Chains A and B, each alone.
Chain A
């Protein structure tokens, strides 16, 4: 079964750093890009950017450039989304999703990781 499994919910304080993960299985991980999508509480979907795990080619949405970092470890079929210092506005559900090319739809999604930033 093709699936993306994301790491568990996180509760952190403002200013802390965080890395969440997305592990692929059931397919060749390096053949697909991994996109990250934010969904703030009660709101819609926002594309944050995407990474090619085979060569770490990355495209960030201008809205998220400089605020997040994508990375990937091919050896364990895992992509990461990282913040160096989160604000309360970072509270959201974060999804990863695979797509075959940069002009392909997102056909398989992770279950989402809830991040709560609160003091």
Chain B
């Protein structure tokens, strides 16, 4: 099983600031089968990024993904009020797994 580790656990920032979230895999993820999801309280997760760097339909361009192999990053260039939420990375290979999540909250 591929284990994903996310850091930091919590990121406290102000609106307008840049957020950088990290996701590290216990082994190489093939074909960049890495996605990022956003989840707000009481809601279902929403796909933000797939293939490590491709934005899903309708996702604003302030969200960007990068990385390959075992190290991946989600960047939110300028935080909007609606971006304060939980973020999960996921590898969607043969046996998908999720990371434990990073909470982005208001400083």
- Identify the A interface with B (CB < 8 A): 35, 37, 44-47, 59, 61-62, 95, 97, 99, 102-107, 109-112
Contact = CB atoms under 8 A, between A and B. Distances in A.
B50 interface: yes
Contacts of A99: 92
Given A109-B44, A109-B46, A110-B44, A46 B98 contact: yes
Interface of B: 1, 31, 33, 35, 37, 39, 44-47, 50, 56-57, 88, 90, 92-101
A103 B93 contact: yes
Contacts of B31: 103
A24 to B, nearest CB: 14
A60 B52 CA distance: 25
A47 B47 contact: no
A45 B45 CA distance: 9
B98 A95 contact: no
Nearest to A50: B96
Contacts of A104: 50, 92
A99 to B, nearest CB: 7
Contacts, number: 58
B33 A103 contact: yes
Contacts of A35: 96
A105 B35 contact: yes
B29 to A, nearest CB: 11
A44 B45 contact: no
A105 B98 contact: no
A111 B92 contact: no
Contacts of A109: 44-46
A112 B44 contact: yes
Contacts of B44: 95, 97, 109-112
Contact of B101 (A44, A61, A107): A44
A37 B88 CA distance: 13
A31 B50 CA distance: 19
Contacts of B98: 44-47
Contacts of B97: 47
A103 B88 contact: no
